[in-house]
Amino acid sequence: MNTARRLEADPVFDAGWCMQLLPSADLVVLYGRMTSASFERFFEASLRSIDEYDGERIGIVHDVRDPQMIEAHRRNRFGKALKAREEQLARTRAHVMIAGSPLLRSSLKVMQWIAPPKHPHAVTSSVPEACSFIARHVPSADPGDLERKLEQLRLGIHNRAQGASRD
């Protein structure tokens, strides 16, 4: 396990998700249905990010664009994997989910109320709120930088979709 400060990594784009690891946060955009193969890559990348780092607290931002992006059996599998890492997450992470849909936000808040994580957590409706939350819990996080990086990920998704529609 690595306790050194993380370096910024290039973004990874896949079917239904993209992720970029920054020194202060993992940025994840979930924007469509994942194939079985893309879910496996998402699952492995997410757990690797947790397992390979045990330094000062960093953030995790999940921008949930599509409420149907992960099927129930996959959510359950992901939840069990996170539960097994609960103590490490409590020491090293602050987590926020961005959900534009009021119904999805309510559902996510209820889940956190029923089984509250031990690490700082929130559900917000906007990117600025989410980035401010992370900055309150991660001293090295710059909310403006997080917002710009998240917007770049969203733009990357849009550009990939535009390129695919031209093919």
Residue 88 in domain: yes
3 in a domain, yes or no?
A: no
| Burial class of residue 35 (count of CB atoms within 10 Å of its CB; 0-12, 13-18, 19+) | exposed
What pLDDT shows up at residue 63?
94
Q: Is residue 1 part of a domain?
A: no
Confidence of residue 105 (pLDDT cuts 50, 70, 90): confident
Query: Is 77 part of a structural domain of the chain?
Result: yes
Confirm whether 143 is domain-assigned: yes
- Please say whether the beta carbons of 58 and 9 come within 8 A: no
Supply the CATH number for residue 18's domain.
Answer: 3.30.750.24
pLDDT band at 34 (very low <50, low <70, confident <90, very high): confident
- Specify if 130 maps to a domain: yes
Q: What is the pLDDT of residue 165?
A: 58
Residue 159 forms part of a structural domain: yes
Kindly report, residue by residue over 57-103, the tens digit of the pLDDT: 899 999 988 766 667 788 788 888 988 998 988 888 999 999 888 88
* Nearest of 75, 63, 60 to residue 124 by alpha carbon: 63
110 or 30: which leads in pLDDT:
30
Q: Tell me, yes or no, whether 81 lies in a domain.
A: yes
Determine phi and psi for 35, rounding to 5 degrees: -75, 170
Residue 146: per-residue pLDDT: 97
Domain that holds residue 134: 12-166
pTM of the complete model: 0.88
Give the chain's domain count: 1
pLDDT attached to residue 79: 83
Mean per-residue pLDDT over the chain, rounded: 87
Mean pLDDT of the region 108-133: 89
